[in-house]
Amino acid sequence: MRRAFRGLVLGVALVFVVSRPVLAQENPTVRAAQAAYDAFDLAGAIRTAREALGEQLSADDRAIALELLAFSYGVLDSTRQAVDAFRDLIFIDPNREPDVNEVSPRITSLYASALGQVLVVRRASVDSSSFISGQGVVPINYSVSRPSRVVTRVVGQGFDAVIDSQLVAGTGGLRWTATDDNGDPVPVGGYQVLVTAIEGTNEFAVSLEIDIRHGTVDTVSHLTSLPGYDKLAEMESPPRDWKPLGISVLYAGLSTGAAYALANPDLGDNWRGGAMAVSLAAITTGFIMSIRKPEPRPVDANIRYNQLLDQQLAQQNLQIGLDNERRRRQVRLTVVQVVVDNGGRP
Amino acid sequence: MKRVLVGLAAIAVFAIPLNAQSLRLAVGVAGVSFSEVSEGLQYDGAGGNAMIDFRFGKFMVQGEGYVARLVPDPETGLTEDVDFRQIDVRIAYFISPALAIQIGGSGREATPDNSTTNVGYGRIGLISENRLGSIARIWVRGAYLPNPKFSGGGSAEFAFEIGLGTWIGTSNGRFGVRIEYDFQRIDRQVKDVDVPQQMMVGRLSFEVGF
């Protein structure tokens, strides 16, 4: 029976150890603790991890040692010690937590229990963003382990201001305009965003490094035409017209016919040659005017339509000009969170 | 004289067109065919003509004249040439863009004095004018010639004239050529004796418009 229980414990431990992510330990004692844990020597792992915690460790090694300690206590069902170890781990690295997909629910619950006992700000981040000053915001997100008042402060480049203060339970966040009291964009340079959670006498703060840059705002080109609206031809050639020939034949026929009809036959016909010549010239003129390519004529409706388009275009370009003038005075702010090389934590 | 001609040419080329009114000047040649009494008394000849045409709004005032030396038809047996001088005045009011009422008068005299009859008459009739596009126009006119007066006496109850003309020129109307004719018949009677006249005047002119 005792052997069977030991086998069960070792089996559970095997699941924990095999599924744990491999971490890079620099300290030899931490490496020894890791080796003992990997060899299912939980007592040895606890002892060695405690020894390591007594040494000068990097933040990562300290976190690994505490994690080994918490996992080992958890496997051995030492709840209080496991929670204590997780609590110390949370203070060192609030963002480090067991992967729920790879550890047992018991370990997860031990971690959650530890998290519920402390006040920390976790998953604090500043989203990189780029926007025109006064027209955008910098998203700042975080979560707190316990309901608390969270005060956010930005410091740097002579700028120091509390930009937000609110009661938060769980996840919180804010939108910072990155402007000063006058509405002007904050100066170029590095800044610290300090997110402090306060609960009674408990207080926990995280610091995020951000870099703010200034840039010019793109201007918009003037329009040369309205998209979707083409100008219409202001001059159009009318179709060929035989009216000039008709008129000339009518006039020539009328006059010469009348002259023939009313002429005095007793007085000869010397006049006929000249009259016929002029009539022929008139008809020829009419014929030429009819077969001549019609001259383009202005189309009033199209002219008025084009005038409307021009007015619309001028209005839009005027608006673009005013916008560009405003844009030239504007500043494009680019905010980037600086990743500090401290073991992957922001 | 040369300076005057240069000045006139400069005005013709560079003068600014007038708004709502126009002034046209034309000079050219005239061909005249004249018959009187019978077929046996016919003259034909040529000369020069001039015309001035002023329009303001719906009104038109036109004056034209010609001088021509007429030669008798060889078959008539006559040998003496005759010089004709005629002046026509027309005042017209356009009742529509293509139709005008005209009134006016004319005077024609011949030299030598006794070669043929001098005549003066009034004029009342219609003018129809149409554009044949931007560079051409055509007109026809007809008039009754009331109360003609003859140097040799007599009267005419039936007297009329019919004319046809066409103009072709530049699109701004500054320069153009006009060709026209007027046919005229006057049935003169002297003491119940028929002494009719019939005449055709053809003109070919160069025109300047302002």
Q: Which two structure tokens, joined as six digits, stand for A142?
A: 């975080």
Task: Give Cα separations from B165 to A115, A155, B58 (angstroms).
Answer: 113, 98, 20
Return d(Cα A217, Cα A236) in angstroms, integer. 45
Q: Is residue B115 a contact partner of residue B71, using CB atoms and an 8 Å limit?
A: no
Q: Is the pLDDT of residue B80 over 90?
A: no
Q: Which chain B positions have a beta carbon within 8 Å of A256's beta carbon?
A: 164
Asked if A222 contacts A317 with a C-beta cutoff of 8 angstroms, the reply is yes
Task: Tell if the CB–CB gap between B196 and A259 is shorter than 8 Å.
Answer: no
Q: In this predicted structure, what is the pLDDT of residue B172?
A: 85
Reported ipTM exceeds the 0.90 cut? no
Full-prediction pTM beyond 0.90? no
Report the residue of chain A nearest B73, measured CA to CA. Answer: A270
CA B98 to chain A, closest CA, distance in angstroms equals 11
Distance CA A156, CA A192 (A): 6
Tell me the two tokens of residue B175. 């320069």
Work out the minimum CA distance from A304 to partner chain B, whole angstroms.
24
B142/A256 Cβ within 8 A: no
Measured in whole angstroms, the distance separating CA A63 from the mean position of its chain's CA atoms is: 36
Close Cβ partners of A311 (under 8 Å, ≥ 6 residues apart): none
- Which chain B residues are within 8 Å of A248, Cβ to Cβ? 132, 138, 166
Mean pLDDT of B11-23: 65
Q: How far is A231 from chain B (nearest CA, A)?
A: 27
Place of tokens 């414990």: A9
Which among A268, A281, A292 is the nearest to B39, CB-wise? A268
Could you report the per-residue pLDDT of B179-209, keeping only the tens digit for each?
A: 999 999 999 988 888 889 999 999 999 999 9
Please check whether residue B189 is in contact with residue B156, taking contact to mean a CB–CB distance below 8 angstroms.
Answer: yes
Mean of pLDDT values over B28-35: 93
Contacts of A264 in chain B (CB under 8 A): 35, 185, 187, 196, 198
Q: Which two tokens stand for residue A162?
A: 């509390």
CB contact B179 to A (< 8 Å): yes
**pLDDT, mean of residues B125-131:** 94
Q: How far apart are CA B150 and CA A123, in angstroms?
A: 125
Best of A235, A241, A267, A290 to disrupt the B interface (most B CBs within 10 Å) is A267
Cβ <8 Å between A251 and B133? no
Calpha distance A274→A72 (Å, rounded): 133
Closest residue to A248, CB basis, from B132, B179, B199: B132
Joined together, the tokens standing for residue A3 give: 């052997």
Cα(A228)–Cα(B127) distance, rounded to whole angstroms?
53
Chain A residue numbers touching B39 (CB-CB < 8 A): 266-268
Angle CA(A311)–CA(A314)–CA(A320) in degrees, nearest 5? 145
Give the C-alpha separation, B28 to B13, whole Å. 19
Question: How far A293 CA sits from the closest chain B CA (Å)?
Answer: 11
Which tokens is A327 given?
A: 């844009």
Q: For residue B90, what pLDDT is reported?
A: 95
Q: Extract the residue ranges of chain A whose pLDDT is less than 70.
A: 1-25, 340-346
pLDDT at B20: 63
How far, in Å, CA of B200 to CA of B181, rounded?
A: 7
Contact criterion met (CB below 8 Å) for A114 and A86: yes
What is the length of chain A?
A: 346
Q: Which residues, including other chains, have CB under 8 Å from residue B87's CB and lie 6 or more apart?
A: B63, B64, B65, B106, B107, B108
Contacts of B136 in chain A (CB under 8 A): 244, 285-286, 288-289
Structural Rg of chain B based on CA atoms: 18
Q: What is the pLDDT of residue B116?
A: 78
- Judged by phi (left if over 0) then psi (alpha if -120 to 50, else beta), residue A136 lies in beta
- In this complex, do B164 and A268 lie within 8 Å of one another by their Cβ atoms? no
Pairwise CA distance, residues A213 & A335, whole Å = 7
Q: What is the pLDDT of residue B76?
A: 72
Residue of B nearest to A257 (CA): B162
pLDDT of amino acid A327:
85
Q: What gap in Å lies between CA A183 and CA A165, rounded to an integer?
A: 20
Predicted local distance difference test score (pLDDT) of residue A165: 92
- Top residue of A241, A245, A250, A255 to mutate, by most chain B CBs within 10 Å, is A255
Chain B, 122 to 161: residues with Cβ < 8 Å from chain A are 128, 130, 132-136, 138-140, 142, 160
Q: Are A325 and A280 in contact (CB under 8 A)?
A: no
Question: In terms of Cα–Cα distance, which of A101, A87, A72, A99 is closest to A9?
Answer: A72
More confident residue, B3 or B144: B144
Exposed, middle or buried, A212 (CB in 10 Å: 0-12/13-18/19+)?
Answer: buried
Asked if B133 lies within 8 A of A256 by C-beta distance, the reply is no
Write out the H or E segment, with its range, that includes residue A244: helix A243-262
Q: pLDDT digit string (tens) for A331-342?
A: 899 999 887 654
